[in-house]
Amino acid sequence: MREDRGADIVNVQFKKGVLELCVLVLTIKTDRYGYELVSAISEKFEIAEGTIYPLLRRLTKEGYFSTYLMESREGPPRKYYRLTEQGKSYAEELIAEWKSFERSVNKIIEEGTPYDSTKLSSEN
């Protein structure tokens, strides 16, 4: 329908991958409940907040999260997400992938930006 549909799709796929990484990383140090995860991410970049929950369900089904309910001070219990051992190693895998991706993009930017490339050659 729209000309930029292709670009949108790449964008969506990219965002989804990044969201998966973020959700996993946010639970490495501590178990978190859904709202906490959503707001931690939506503080940093714009998302349709409702999309985090299908993602959490999928990651739980795939065995990367286990869930449990815990009472909150404010009222009814909340569902907490805990990273499983499998989830931890998956998170590490994704982090490594992201870092190598980031390095590659940085390299392209450095090589493509005249100012930065002269700075780079003077540093070497």
Using the contact rule CB under 8 A, the part of the chain among 41-49, 89-97, 103-111, 116-124 near other proteins is 41-49
Q: Which of 7, 28, 58, 108 binds other proteins (CB under 8 A)?
A: 58
Min. distance of Cβ 74 from other proteins in angstroms? 5
Q: Which of 21, 25, 26, 33 binds other proteins (CB under 8 A)?
A: 33
d(CA 86, CA 96): 16
Q: Which of 7, 28, 30, 39 binds other proteins (CB under 8 A)?
A: 39
Contacts made by residues 20-23, CB under 8 angstroms, sequence distance 24+: 20/55, 20/59, 20/94, 21/91, 21/94, 21/95, 21/98, 23/52, 23/55, 23/56, 23/59
DSSP label of 79: E
Which residues contact other proteins by CB under 8 A?
A: 1, 5, 9, 12-13, 15-16, 19, 33-35, 38-39, 42, 47-51, 53-54, 56-58, 61, 74-76, 78-79
